[in-house]
Amino acid sequence: MIEIPGFSPSRRIERTADGYVIHVRPPATIGDYPEVSVVLTEGQYERYQWWRRGKLIQEALPDLSDDQREMLMTGLRDADFHRIARDPEED
């Protein structure tokens, strides 16, 4: 996975008794959005690492919702992503 400074989300990982919490903040170039968090089990965290090493996220983590996968990839909730990516001509 290619990370481009300033254009990639920042991530921090918190170990818990039951697994991990992945905290993701969108890049500043997108706007001022709050950090989002996704809770993963031990097994999901292992598969999260597969995604970070290049596997498609929907293959590595099919048990997560679309919104959870979007948060891991971009730091945005699905609704935020759609709001940013919408075509202004459709308004």
* In the predicted structure, residue 78 carries a pLDDT above the cut 90: no
pLDDT in tens, 47-77: 999 999 999 999 999 999 999 999 999 999 8
In a domain, 88, yes or no: no
In a domain, 5, yes or no: no
In a domain, 57, yes or no: yes
In a domain, 15, yes or no: yes
Domain with 44 in it: 10-81
* In the predicted structure, residue 91 carries a pLDDT above the cut 60: no
pLDDT in tens, 25-48: 998 888 888 999 999 999 999 999
- Say what the alpha-carbon torsion angle 46, 11, 5, 76 is, to the nearest 10 degrees: 100
* In the predicted structure, residue 84 carries a pLDDT above the cut 90: no
Looking at the chain, the whole-number percentage of residues with pLDDT higher than 70 is 89
In a domain, 30, yes or no: yes
Q: How many folded domains does the chain comprise?
A: 1
Question: From CA 64, how far away is CA 33, in angstroms rounded?
Answer: 22
Whether the CB-CB separation of 24 and 77 falls below 8 Å is answered with no
* Mean local confidence (pLDDT), 3-15: 86
Query: Environment class of residue 34 by beta-carbon count within 10 Å: exposed (0-12), middle (13-18) or buried (19+)?
Result: exposed
> Which strands form 19-25's sheet, in the order they lie side by side?
10-15, 19-25, 36-41
Say which residue, 91 or 83, is predicted with more confidence: 83
Integer angstrom CA distances of residue 27 from 6, 14, 35, 41, 65: 6, 20, 10, 26, 22
In a domain, 90, yes or no: no
